Amino acid sequence: MWRHVRACSRSVRPSRLGLQRRPCGTTSSTGSPTLTTPRRVAPQKVLLHSCCAPCSGSMVEELVAGGHHVTIFFYNPNIHPREEYEIRKEENKRFAERIGTPFVDADYDVDEWFKRARGMEFDPERGRRCTMCFDMRMERTALYAHENGFDCFTTTNATSRWKDQEQVNSSGFRAAAKYNFMPYFWKYDWQTDAMTERKYRINAEQRFYKQEYCGCSYSLRDSNIWRKQNGIPPVQIGGETAGLGSRYFENPEDDAREESVEVVEAFFASADRHFDNTLVYKGRQRQADKAAARDETGSTCNNW
Ligand code: SF4
């Protein structure tokens, strides 16, 4: 993906973040309504699949404030290259430690992710490849939740307006169905204005690393193609300087505006009209097809 993903900040204990449990259905300290689980009973033991620290802050805050017991589950074999994966994981782990939330570091089975992505290397964001990507992560999350006695699970992928909420939720339900909905998948509208504002407030407070693409090598490739077409410097992985904009989250108002419904819709409409990477990478698709025919792992496709 070729936009910024905006997110969170630094070194605050749970009480200072406002992470006190309170009865379900009341109003939070930040003024937004407290969430309720589908069964409307707190506390629930919730396994929260997290893609990164910036997307997890507001959900953890809301869930804990709602009286639930949250464990963060980091399983993201889609993130490439490894350096970016480690940055996102370590930041999420540090955030979990700061707020006293258990953190599970799951496998980085990148070869399996590339195998599943075969034939979808040129699909647009929100297409088939993303369904596969959500399915893979939700399946692993549901399995862990099932084996470890969680009531339910959900995912930070559902907080971002850059994601198709229906697509994300469908993957969650499919994964829960494999275990007869024990645990169930917690569907909720995490993309409200209040949640988006809260996400960027926390991100600026915590001064999180601002990632510049969705995560996989294909989204990185497409981000850089789009940037080149628009005269923008390429994505920078790590370091103190971003390819575009600030390296860390600093301005909650600007960041929330960048994820407004209008901006996101305009972006995807524009991308549909003007961005056709199947032409740019036609020759390389043939190489990928040949590699798949030889039953190679697909990891080599990371060198776009
Ligand atoms: S664009 Fe994002 S959601 Fe889609 S496959 Fe790549 S990492 Fe997964």
In our burial notation (b when 16+ CB lie closer than 10 A, e otherwise), range 133-145 reads bbbbbbbbbbbbb
Q: What is the pTM of this model?
A: 0.83
Span from the CA of 156 to the centroid of ligand 1 (angstroms): 14
Helix (H, G, I), strand (E, B) or coil at 304: coil
- Give me the pLDDT at residue 14, please: 34
Q: Which amino acid residue places its CA nearest to atom 5 of ligand 1?
A: 130
For the segment 235-257, what is each residue's pLDDT rounded down to a tens digit? 999 999 999 999 999 999 999 99
Q: Which residue has the tokens 């929330």?
A: 256
Q: Which amino acid residue places its CA nearest to atom 4 of ligand 1?
A: 130
Low-confidence ranges of the chain (pLDDT < 70): 1-40, 271-304
Q: Which residue has the tokens 């490849």?
A: 129
Enter the DSSP assignment of 156.
G
Atom of ligand 1 nearest to the CA of 120: 5
Span from the CA of 236 to the centroid of ligand 1 (angstroms): 18
Span from the CA of 79 to the centroid of ligand 1 (angstroms): 8
d(CA 69, CA 286): 49
- Give me the pLDDT at residue 4, please: 36
Span from the CA of 101 to the centroid of ligand 1 (angstroms): 26
Residues enclosing ligand 1, CB less than 6 A?
Answer: 1, 78, 125, 129-130, 133, 214-216, 218-219
